Amino acid sequence: MKHWGILICCVFTFVLSFAQNNPFQIKSPKMDFNLSPNGLYIAQPSASVFFPTSSLNPIISNSGIWYSGRMPDNKVRASINLDNSLSDFTFGPLSMSQSENLDSVKWFKTWVITKSEIQTHLNKYKEPGYSVPDNIKNWPVNPPPNYDGILTPFADWNGNGLYEPELGEAPVVEGDLNVFAVYNDYRSNRIRLDSGLGVEIKHFAYIIFNPEINQFLILNRVLLTNRNNFDIHSFKLGLYAELLLGEGTSNFIKSFPKQNAITGYNMNVSDSFYGNHIPAVAFISLNRDLAGTMYLSHDNNPITGYPESVEQINNYLSGKWKNGKSLTYGGNGIDGSTLTRFVYPGGGDPDNHQFEWVEENSGSTPGKRSALIVFDSILFKQNSTEEFRFAYQIIPDVNNDTTLIKEHIIQTQTLYGNGELTNIFDIHNAKQRIQIYPNPISFNSEVFVQSEYSILSLLIRDLTGRIVFSSHYNDQSRKKLIGINPKLKKGIYLIQLTTSYGLTHAKLLVN
């Protein structure tokens, strides 16, 4: 069983490599990783992440998302990624009718594009003889017929809802290097006998070049949409990763609850892969507080081993061990008397336990470890979308210095702990800036949009890409300040503003 983890990096130049035996490999000057169309960071040849690039020094094995939820019949279902041959997820979007007639060639793919490619397109699309590159032309914006919304945001210059790159329209991206996959858990290829939860996942992974810390980060934005006509109760999401860190036989883990992170590190002073410069790896939530953290052993241990049933998956996502025992403070976390939510939190336990609980003082023997971070249970409403942002971070040359590891995690949280990755629309905003106030707003409240240039049109989309509000302004009514009352439900929305200067975007929050 294998799962979620990754990491990557980049500097000002990089190479994208798609080898014949691994069409999903991405290489950069800092590290290599493999991302499959069903959202699995796959082990090829022996791991999903290698550091440094071209070294084949492993950091993380297979990794992916887990989730569970209660269906209307009161039964709990769960979906997890296991490895390249066993997964509850299949590639492609999920239709509203939850049918499965997708073009396997088209959707068995991960899409990769760079900000520099987009910038070149925007600069040259009007030149005589210019041909739109395939990366721009084939960027997956529009879903198949009978599918809802758009898949990825794009610069819609004329506001007609159609992706027309030949007119200078282009993907809107958050990173310098951008990877996209869309997958779902309904029916195909499931290792469990049920039909899944009916959830569609749009997974955006970003690498940003500056500051330097970003060369060791992969920043993720995952949008989960409930494609059912009913609510899913007690929906729990977890992110799982099998640690290697070189030899992979002497690892420990530690939680950092205040930083919403868990880390894996190597207890040896030397390693056959890394010598005495062994990296650590951290998994960090950026836009939500964690409900808890767990570890797993790389085996079929009845308490700490891989889950094999829906009940065991749900146990792990509920802060319990495979056999249903609750996580407890102290020792190996199994047979104590005090319940806790975070495994091996040092002195940072939010429940104010009286002693520092770390794995090296617990009596545990270093070995293979898997890390799991878990988010709070939610009511996943029908046809709604939930957004999760998180980072995977490689921390070079720290060996087992957890103080230094924490400093790096704090750096990342300082940069991205508000859930924003980068100025997502720098390319399209140019020199233009807009102001939105108040922000956030409540339902049935007016919001004002102010621009340096005359406003031609305004569109508001929800997280699935559906247009939920639109307004166009003719030559006589064009203004630099407008007030609107879009009457939006609670959530996150994207405002697309077309002005006499060009196109710009901003987020609107509704409480």
* Judgement on whether residues 153 and 225 belong to the same structural domain of the protein: yes
Report yes or no on 365 lying in a domain.
Answer: yes
Report yes or no on 231 lying in a domain.
Answer: yes
Neighbour tally for 434: CB within 10 Å: 18
* Judgement on whether residues 216 and 119 belong to the same structural domain of the protein: yes
Question: Residue type for 145, please?
Answer: P
The Cα–Cα gap between 116 and 255 comes to 37
Q: Which domain holds residue 358?
A: 66-416
Q: What is the pLDDT of residue 18?
A: 33
Report yes or no on 243 lying in a domain.
Answer: yes
* Judgement on whether residues 293 and 385 belong to the same structural domain of the protein: yes
Report yes or no on 40 lying in a domain.
Answer: no
* Judgement on whether residues 470 and 502 belong to the same structural domain of the protein: yes
Q: Which of 368, 394, 416 is the last residue of a domain?
A: 416
* Judgement on whether residues 411 and 437 belong to the same structural domain of the protein: no
* Judgement on whether residues 358 and 478 belong to the same structural domain of the protein: no
* Judgement on whether residues 178 and 253 belong to the same structural domain of the protein: yes
* Judgement on whether residues 343 and 442 belong to the same structural domain of the protein: no
Closest Cα to residue 209, out of 248, 172, 182, 177? 177
Report yes or no on 214 lying in a domain.
Answer: yes
* Judgement on whether residues 350 and 481 belong to the same structural domain of the protein: no
**What is the count of structural domains for the chain?**
2
Angle, vertex CA 44, rays to CA 38 and CA 47, nearest 5: 95
CATH of the domain at 495: 2.60.40.1220
Tokens 């490895």 -> residue: 83
The Cα–Cα gap between 110 and 145 comes to 20
Q: What is the pLDDT of residue 371?
A: 95
DSSP string, 159-197: -SS---GGGT--B--SSSEEEEEEEE-SSTT-SSSS---
* Judgement on whether residues 436 and 332 belong to the same structural domain of the protein: no
Report yes or no on 54 lying in a domain.
Answer: no
Q: Which of 357, 385, 416 is the last residue of a domain?
A: 416
Helix (H, G, I), strand (E, B) or coil at 418: coil
* Judgement on whether residues 410 and 279 belong to the same structural domain of the protein: yes
Q: Report yes or no: 289 and 388 within 8 Å, Cβ to Cβ.
A: no
* Judgement on whether residues 227 and 337 belong to the same structural domain of the protein: yes
Digit-by-digit pLDDT tens for the chain (511 residues) are 333 332 223 322 333 333 334 567 777 768 788 888 888 777 777 778 888 888 889 998 888 999 999 999 999 999 998 765 668 998 899 887 776 667 777 888 999 999 889 989 988 998 999 999 999 999 999 888 778 778 888 877 777 778 999 998 888 888 889 999 999 998 776 877 788 999 999 999 988 887 777 889 988 899 999 999 999 999 999 999 999 998 888 999 999 999 999 999 998 888 899 998 999 999 999 989 999 999 998 788 999 998 989 999 999 999 999 999 999 999 999 988 899 999 999 988 888 777 889 998 888 888 889 999 999 999 999 988 898 999 999 999 988 899 999 999 999 998 888 766 544 444 344 445 678 889 889 888 899 988 877 888 888 888 767 788 888 876 555 578 888 988 888 888 888 887 766 667 778 889 8
Report yes or no on 137 lying in a domain.
Answer: yes
Report yes or no on 45 lying in a domain.
Answer: no
Q: Report yes or no: 209 and 10 within 8 Å, Cβ to Cβ.
A: yes
Q: Provide the β-strand partners of residue 179.
A: 112, 205
Q: Which of 416, 448, 465 is the last residue of a domain?
A: 416
The Cα–Cα gap between 268 and 260 comes to 26
Q: Which residues contact 309 (CB under 8 A, 6 or more apart)?
A: none
Question: Residue type for 215, please?
Answer: Q
